[in-house]
Amino acid sequence: MDNNNNKDQVLDFIPSEVAKEMQLRTRKHAKFDEIEKKLPDPRASVPYGFSISNVLNEMSIRVPFSKAIAKGDIVWLFDNTAYKQQQQSPSASSSSSSSSAQGDHDNNNNNNTPWQAEFIMAVFEDEPKCKVTDIVAGIASILGLADEAEELKTIEQRLLPFLWDIRAGRAATVSQQGGSELKLGPSGLNGISTNVLPLVHDAEKASHHTKKATCDVEGVGGVLSMETHFAGPEGWGIISDIDDTIKITTTSDPVGILKETFINQPRPVPGMPELYAGIKSLLPRDTPWFYLSASPYNLYPFLKGFRDEHFPQGTFILRDSSWKTITGLLSSLTMGTEEYKVDRMKKVHGWLPRRKLIVFGDSTQSDPEAYGEIYRMFPGWIRMIFIRKDTDSAAIGLAEKNEPQRFEKAFTGIPRDAWHVFEDPDECLDLVKNVIQKHSSS
């Protein structure tokens, strides 16, 4: 593959404009703006209309101080993927191939390189300062529910993570299997801390095991355990979108999004759990799975439970914005999704540049454009792109999302046998087998 030609294609072809224009027309056609204006604003019901947390939440600077988490805090620990820091130069890491001598040199370096991982923690206050019943009633009204509807209990339960105030400047010590400890934090002014930390682990067994870490502080609730999956530098990897790729979300319909998020039991797209189970059986145990979604972090426990029930274990990559706003849920799923996903896939490439990736998305958002851009940006990294054609998009009124011309344009410069658009997941497993057989030696 000629890397220079592919770089030219990245410069000459700008699919993002197509994706942005399509997203804007989806929002206009489905009246997203009208629904967002009707949604209750939790910040408006705070006494005197002012909250320090709300002010801090709008800022993006890092908190320079820290305080240990304590009774009354809500803590979420996120599953993650451990990797070995790459020794190659930036130009080498983005190349599709290297000499055998370079490969041997890199393998020797990686044998002596410690493991590390990005640890993410979110911290909240457990008592909303707004009047929760009013927010629940506002959403129920939009969804046409009666005042005494049974669904109001479900709405309240799932809504709370959007209403909690964040805890800035919080730190925690978590205990790992084997007796080691990790210090996480401080949380930033969005309530989230991100720390890249080295890991002590048996190098002989690391590629075949996961490692758990727990937070055990009296009076602290939340998601208090996390799992680190160890992924060596070589092999395969999976990146999967969530909404309308593996989970029914109806991202082209604002009322549908609210129903699927706050009322309905989360449902897998038919055939996708079986497909992913089949793919998992074909690949080594150390194959990393990444679930890349434009959904906000507020939905982490909700999505984690869904994953645990239906799909392989893996690392969630979610938006770290839109705290304390319900309108943010709708905008995060319909605005700027291509730029966001491209940015996060660059990070995954930085962790595992020599893995061979198979990626899954759908036609409702900008997955084709985002995956096409990354394919051209890092030649040889993505080996196959699968796009689920969501026929509900046509029913909502934007049939061109499923038109062949859209996919041809999104995948300009990409070999035709490196991408596949499907409606029935049953047709994908044999294609995955073929890709693995074709590229396993490369």
Among 57-66, 158-167, 197-206, 288-297, where is mean pLDDT lowest? 57-66
Lookup: tokens for 422 = 């499907």
Peptide bond connecting 186 to the previous residue in cis, omega within 30 degrees of 0: yes
Which residues are within 8 A (CB) of 181 and not within 5 positions of it... i.e. 6 or more apart? 173, 174, 175
Question: Can you list the alpha helix ranges (DSSP code H) found in 171-326?
Answer: 254-262, 272-282, 300-310
pTM for the model stands at 0.87
The size of the chain, in residues, is: 442
pLDDT at 425: 98
Q: Are 78 and 287 in contact (CB under 8 A)?
A: no
pLDDT at 395: 61
**3-state SS string over 172-188?**
EEEEECCCCEEEECCCC
Phi-psi group of 274: left, alpha or beta (phi > 0 → left; psi -120 to 50 → alpha; rest → beta): alpha
Q: CA–CA separation, 39 vs 262, rounded Å?
A: 13
Flag whether pLDDT at 94 surpasses 50: no
Lookup: tokens for 191 = 């309530």
Q: Are 353 and 378 in contact (CB under 8 A)?
A: yes
Instruction: Centre a 10 Å sphere on the Cβ of residue 356 and count the other Cβ atoms it contains.
Output: 19
pLDDT at 177: 84
Binned at pLDDT 50, 70 and 90, residue 249 comes out as very high
Average pLDDT across the chain, whole number: 85
Among 36-45, 49-58, 258-267, 322-331, where is mean pLDDT lowest? 49-58
Amino acid at 290: F
Average pLDDT, stretch 170-199? 92
Among 269-278, 395-404, 417-426, where is mean pLDDT lowest? 395-404
Structure confidence by residue, pLDDT tens digits, 123-133: 999 888 888 99
Question: Taking Cα atoms as reference points, which of 77, 76, 78, 80 lies closest to residue 288?
Answer: 80
Which residues are within 8 A (CB) of 378 and not within 5 positions of it... i.e. 6 or more apart? 94, 96, 349, 353
CA of 24: how far to CAs of 21, 163, 196, 426, in Å? 5, 27, 36, 32
Question: Is 125 in a helix, a strand, or coil?
Answer: strand
Q: CA–CA separation, 222 vs 33, rounded Å?
A: 33
Return the bridge partners of 117, or none: 82, 197
Q: State the residue for tokens 């404009």.
A: 17
pLDDT at 78: 98
Binned at pLDDT 50, 70 and 90, residue 394 comes out as low
Q: CA–CA separation, 414 vs 159, rounded Å?
A: 42
Question: Taking Cα atoms as reference points, which of 368, 252, 403 lies closest to residue 15?
Answer: 368
pLDDT at 262: 96
Q: CA–CA separation, 35 vs 330, rounded Å?
A: 9
Task: Tally helices (H) and strands (E) across the chain.
Answer: 17, 16
